[in-house]
Amino acid sequence: MMPEWVEAAVVLENGFIREWKAAGKKVVGYTCSYLPDEVFHAAGILPFRLRGYGTEECSIGDTYFGPFICSLPKCMLQLAGEGRLRFLDGAIITPGCDSMRRLDECWRKAGDDHEGIVPGFFFHFGVPHKFSDYTVHWFIDEIRRLIAAVEAHFGVAVTDEGLRESIRIYNRGRALLQQFDRFRTAPNPPITGAEALAVILAGTAMARDAYNSCLEAFLDKLTDHRTETQTDRIRLMLVGSANDDVELVRVIEGNRALVVADNLCFSARFHLDPVAEDGNLVEALARHYLQKNECPRMYGQYRQRLDLLRAKIRSARVDGVVLQNIRFCDLHGAENGLFERALEAEGTPCLRLEREYGPLVEKGRLKIRVDAFLERIAQKHGAAA
Amino acid sequence: MIVAGCDVGSLTSKAVVMRDGRIIGRAVIKSKAKPWESAESVMQMALAPAGLGLNDVCYCVGTGYGRDKIPFVHETVSEIGCHGKGARWLVPSVRTVIDIGGQDCKAMRLDKDGNIEKFIANDKCASGTGRFLEVMAKALGVGLGELGDLSARAKHPVTLANACTVWAQADVIRHLHDGVPVEDIVAGINNAMAARTATLVRNIGAEPDVCMTGGVAKNGGVLASLERLLSLRLKRIRREDPQITGAIGAALFAAEHANGGHR
Amino acid sequence: MRQATREYHFDWMLWSAFDTAAKLSRGSEKEYRTTLKYIPYFRGIVEAMLQSGEPGKRFVELCAKYFGNFVTARERGRKTAMTTFCFSPTILYALDVAPVCLELLSAIMALTYRRGTGEFLDYCNEVGFTETSCSSQRGALGGFLAGLGSEIDMIVTDTPGVCDTNANAFSFAAAYLQKPFFQLDFPPVLVDPQTDTYHREDYKALIRFLEEHTGKTLDVDRLRQVLMEIEVQDALMAELEDLSRLVPNPLPVSFGLLTYAGRFLFGGMPECTRLLESMVEQGRANAEKGISGLKSGVEKIRVFFCYIDHYAQDLRLWQLLDERGIGYAGNILSRHWASTAPYVRILDKADAAYTVDTTSLDAMLDSVAALNSRMPMVKQIRGPYDAPNMWLDDTLALAKLYSADCIVYNGTPGCRNTWGMVKLLARDTEKAGFPTHIMNTDAFDERVQSWEATRERFEEFLTVRRLLP
């Protein structure tokens, strides 16, 4: 059922990217969902969400990063060090979190030892940790600084018309993804959580125009698709640290559960409400990206994020919430602790999981915990019946 | 009707055979590299004294890390579920179960019907698991079974790093070289273990009665230390070896599901 | 947590102990000896502090005052604010808010408690906070989360953009304790006009927040007074810095901690000034006699701690330095980058330093912003380690200026920032000719690596690199 283009979810330098590069066009990688993709789209550059997916070991990552660090940027560095990111013409490092922002110097220093692994355009892009009038102003200036640097380095012009068109195209994508979400959360979803993640991930690794067409066609297909009943599966929501590994969701789902909703930055956080298409466009982007991204890096917003989870639990009829974090991810890890207390008190079963980012070698350990969690939910349903 | 439970863990494999709600056979072995070999060996050992074979078992439930690889089981249940079930059978008043196995440590709260209300498992680390004790016992040249009695004789327990087994081991060796009595070192080891466990237990909130299952439950030193930290008495499992609790739970599930209570 | 720990407020106990110790220093020998019998767990540190002369005594008094301030705040009609060490308390004092600095509490408890702060560290994890978070907040935070501390009225931090695990701890505390929360944000670049504009707005927002939650209006004259006191303190700190460049260094090892702790706790207030004055007096006296501040009297080598010291347990790190004749060239915690500091003058780093301008409210807010931007960590780790005025720049400049023979990194496993690039830093400092030792300890939690193991590895480094026999 899954279309071919979804291979972009699991293949690093996928077909779209190869074609794009063959046409002489540029690709810029970015580490964090706070970067306004539209800026690059308007510049005719493909914005590529950097991942660490596909590493088999992490010796290069471990050489430069110290031991007590999240494995996600380490795996990104590993890929870079192995030369597997040479298709990038640029990289944007963002302080999504401290571990991630240290990818800046680790990558550059690794570049001293491994030739040619640092892309020509290497940019540190600041993002505030709160939303207010003056942080938006600072962020607007920062986006303008990025635009100026892109224009200078790549010899392109980012015009207002270009930006408006890009925002419109990305908004179309957001609307399609929200439509897609409605399939995911239906009483009898035609698609598993793992498949859904693959579809969404593909959008981070290919041109948005092409993605929109592909997704639109896929949604048409889904409308007519008849699937065996999934209504007896336990409905889960997946929350926490970044995950771009479809296999992790598959392990969680097994044959007894479905991840029908999430609050992950490679997934649902990526396509919330549209960006304003009129007025000051850079300001519109700044407001949207700073306000709509529900990440614990935005300190002091726990209550808002909890409300968001509650709303999703209701609308998607979620039976249980899996709160996972990558080891050393204190932002998600700690907030998961707060979520667990609040949601359990309201009667929503929660499972906290800590994992490593990278090759999924701990399936047994994860399954033990997930299976026990699903048994607990099933018992609860049985008792209620 | 004869039912069985088979718990294939990373370090040890256990089997329990029951008839009409009574245990008629039990066995514990060191796990082999292949889980199906472990399962077959331990099950034969449990069945043999009663003069039974695998064919005599009407229903078998598998659990533990290797549960999906056991060819002769009819269904699998998580070890958390099985430990909860087994603990309730062994200690009918139990509401909180702490299971310290070879490679992980779990705590679970049961509701009045014995269902799992909440559970938590440790992550990413040997300290706080049976492996920690094994490594330390080896460093000291004592048997695992001696750790409880030795620590009872301690006068000045040492403080050990409890965040890392490797570093704790280096500290143990240093204390030995410095002539610190073995009893004091062992007490320090048991305290470090109990401290990690206590944090886990407090995370889900201990509700009396509390008991410990798994091999480490045989270490009186860890139990005593844990009691001090949690400020409550732990119910000792005396009916059977606490290490077979998971297998007992699996056998109990087998009895239920063989009678048509199958999910 | 043991039942015994749950039976009283931990901060009340700290206050009692330090208050008693402060009185001891002014009492008779008999009172002193008798009281020591009743505080077996604090005995070591109390003796060490009180016997190091007037500065030690003033420090103990300063701590007692600090704890008393927030423990009795309610009774005195004042508000309390939980905050971080790298947020200068000047603006809080200007609004008569009693600060509660988590990291200093953690450090002081790690230094004084026999078992360290393990129970509080672990309690944070019990209520859902990650175990991998920095122990510097957790050591005291656990007490507050368990309801064993004084009432907190608000939470203020300046670490977003600087240190996630720090900011996250305060954000967690605010959510858990349900208290008003304010964060000052820091862009990655220190010297930049846009950064300055941004900070001005941020501090105005901070004032509005503090006024709202104290019910008071900022008294401009009071702020001026506090900032002028900062200038006095800056001058004293500059003199201490100059003295420490002498060979031998006439300042005792403990003066490092006294300087930065005093400043974190009472920056802008006379208590800190008095402490600094006593240190300058003793330092001058030693310098005139040409003697070393080390107990052994002989300074063999100098070590620059490029990050923080080691607080778990007692004062064993300082004792080790004293015993082995290792001069202490400080760390980043006592370097605040005032324009009058010698390292600013000599290294020609005026653009990276702050000046205090009290001519108008705006000028004063800019001064507060500039001062905070140069607080330790806020200055060094907000951008890539090798960017101008960041960690590498500061480390090399200070190590060179203070004639360090080697550099030691000590921190906590919770420090994502430094552990994200300390190997890179060490590579660069080695290339620059400074043997560099990375400690795998936790400065606030001895259970991570025992003192014995820490000491062993450090001494091995000194031997193998032929720094000391």
Does the beta carbon of B164 lie under 8 angstroms from any beta carbon of chain C?
A: yes
pLDDT confidence tier of residue B21, bands split at 50, 70 and 90? very high
B124 and A379 within 8 Å at the Cβ level: the answer is no
Does the beta carbon of A304 lie under 8 angstroms from any beta carbon of chain C?
A: no
pLDDT at B149: 85
- Which residues on A lie below 8 Å from B78 (Cβ)? 368, 371-372, 375
pLDDT at B259: 73
pLDDT at C421: 95
C-alpha C305/C-alpha C406 separation (Å) is 9
Task: Yes or no: say if C180 and C399 are a contact pair by the CB < 8 Å rule.
Answer: no
pLDDT at A207: 94
Q: Which domains does chain A have, with CATH numbers?
A: 4-158 (3.40.50.11890), 161-384 (3.40.50.11900)
pLDDT at A107 > cutoff 50: yes
Q: Which domains does chain B have, with CATH numbers?
A: 1-91+239-263 (3.30.420.40), 93-236 (3.30.420.40)
3-class DSSP assignment, residue C447: coil
C448 and B160 within 8 Å at the Cβ level: the answer is no
C-alpha C257/C-alpha C262 separation (Å) is 8
C2 and B228 within 8 Å at the Cβ level: the answer is yes
C171 and A297 within 8 Å at the Cβ level: the answer is no
C-alpha A212/C-alpha A175 separation (Å) is 10
Does the beta carbon of C447 lie under 8 angstroms from any beta carbon of chain B?
A: yes
Residues 70 through 99 of chain B touching chain C, CB cutoff 8 Å: none
Neighbours of A303 (CB within 10 A): 12
Q: Rounded mean pLDDT of A326-333? A: 94
Q: What share of chain B has pLDDT > 70, as a percent?
A: 93
Q: What share of chain C has pLDDT > 90, as a percent?
A: 77
The nearest CA of chain A is from the CA of C383 a distance in Å of: 9
Sign of the C-alpha dihedral computed for residues A204, A205, A210 and A215 taken in this order: negative
Does the beta carbon of B124 lie under 8 angstroms from any beta carbon of chain A?
A: yes
Q: Where are the alpha helices (DSSP H) in C219-315?
A: 220-243, 254-266, 270-289
pLDDT at A115 > cutoff 50: yes
pLDDT confidence tier of residue B137, bands split at 50, 70 and 90? confident
Q: What share of chain A has pLDDT > 90, as a percent?
A: 82
pLDDT at B263 > cutoff 50: no
Token pair of C151 as six digits: 């009432």
- Which residues on B lie below 8 Å from C125 (Cβ)? 199, 203
Neighbours of C63 (CB within 10 A): 27
pLDDT confidence tier of residue C15, bands split at 50, 70 and 90? very high
Name the least confident of A23-37, B96-110, C275-289: B96-110
Task: Yes or no: say if A138 and C187 are a contact pair by the CB < 8 Å rule.
Answer: yes
pLDDT at B169 > cutoff 80: no
ipTM: 0.95
The nearest CA of chain C is from the CA of A124 a distance in Å of: 9
pLDDT at B132: 75
- Which residues on A lie below 8 Å from B115 (Cβ)? 376, 379-380, 383
What average pLDDT does the structure give for chain C? Answer: 93
Predicted TM-score of the model (pTM) = 0.92
Structure-token match 């002081």, residue found? C108
Q: Rounded mean pLDDT of C179-200? A: 90
Which residue in A352, A364, A372 is closest to B81 by CB distance?
A372
pLDDT at C2: 81
The residue that leads in pLDDT, B17 or A273, is B17
- Which residues on A lie below 8 Å from C164 (Cβ)? 97-98, 297, 330-331
Q: Rounded mean pLDDT of A189-206? A: 93
Give the C-alpha distances (Å, rounded to integers) separating C356 from B164, C339, C363: 47, 9, 8
Residues 181 through 210 of chain B touching chain C, CB cutoff 8 Å: 192, 195, 198-199, 202-203
Q: Which domains does chain C have, with CATH numbers?
A: 4-217 (3.40.50.11890)
Which span out of B54-68, B94-108, B130-144 was modeled with the highest average pLDDT?
B54-68
User: For an interface test with B, which of C449, C454, C455, C460 has the most B Cβ atoms less than 10 Å from its Cβ?
Assistant: C449
Does the beta carbon of B7 lie under 8 angstroms from any beta carbon of chain A?
A: no
- Which residues on C lie below 8 Å from A102 (Cβ)? 384, 416-417, 420-421
Q: Rounded mean pLDDT of A163-179? A: 95
C420 and A98 within 8 Å at the Cβ level: the answer is yes
pLDDT at B125: 61
HEC per residue, A295-355:
CCCCCCCHHHHHHHHHHHHHHCCCCEEEEEEECCCHHHHHHHHHHHHHHHHCCCCEEEEEE
Condensed to tens digits (0 to 9), the pLDDT of residues A232-249 reads: 899 999 999 999 999 999
Neighbours of C114 (CB within 10 A): 12
Q: Give which of C104, C191, C103, C168 is closest to C374, Cα–Cα.
A: C191
Scored b (16 or more CB within 10 A) or e, A185-205 reads bbeebbbbbbbbbbbbbbbbb
Q: Rounded mean pLDDT of B116-140? A: 76
pLDDT at C399 > cutoff 90: yes
Name the least confident of A302-316, B61-75, C257-271: B61-75
C-alpha C273/C-alpha C236 separation (Å) is 8
User: For an interface test with C, which of A132, A303, A331, A350 has the most C Cβ atoms less than 10 Å from its Cβ?
Assistant: A331
Which chains touch C (3+ CB pairs under 8 A)? Answer: A, B
